[in-house]
Amino acid sequence: SVGGVMDLIGGELNIQNQSFYVGYGGPGLFRQQGGTLDAESVGISYAGTHAPVDRYELSGGTLNILYDLTIGYGSSGKGEFYQSGGTVQANRYVVKHGKAVQPSGSAIANEFWIGRNGDGSVAQMEISGGSIDVGKLHVGEPEGYVTTIRELKVSGPATITTGVLSVANVHNDTLA
């Protein structure tokens, strides 16, 4: 777990049978410029809103996740995932409370959720370059919460490949 600042420049960080948290009980910033990080799950902002925000920056290398990448993991956490290069591979990529920004790089997942299980949360994804290859892409969830904002913005030379696209609540969920 990262509270403070940690950099991965090269090599391999293998967290076997464990989750990796950025901002677990204190402000966290994890910067991956190269190398490989392998973990069972990755949570960004486990609990509490830390100023300015708990953040994972991926500019190179590979992030391999067996289960979930969750941005805004805890009920009060607010996280940010900024990908300007490299590759993310995960079973599920979930923007729960916070924001994911991808100007370049690639993300591969079986399921991609923007807004999930969060009353009053703001979940946003902006992709302006690179690619997302996903089996199912969900913006919002069927139950929906009227105060929740879930938003996917696509611009520039970005590519999204998906087998299923669902936008759950046309009043609160945005696909632009």
């929906």: which residue's tokens?
144
Give every CB contact of residue 170 below 8 A, 6+ residues apart in sequence.
Answer: none
Average pLDDT over residues 82-108: 94
Q: Which of 89, 50, 91, 44 is CA-nearest to residue 70?
A: 44
Residue 86 gets which letter from DSSP? S
pLDDT in tens, 143-157: 555 546 788 888 889
If one compares 50 and 21, the residue with the highest pLDDT of the two is 21
Q: What is the pLDDT of residue 147?
A: 47
> 62 and 37 in contact (C-beta within 8 Å)?
yes
* CA angle in degrees (0–180, nearest 5) for 139-40-72: 40
Mean pLDDT value of segment 51-61: 88
Spatial distance between the Cα atoms of 155 and 110, rounded to a whole number of angstroms: 22
Enter the pTM of the model: 0.89
> For residue 115, what are the β-bridge partners?
none
Instruction: Tell me which of 141 and 13 has the higher pLDDT.
Output: 13
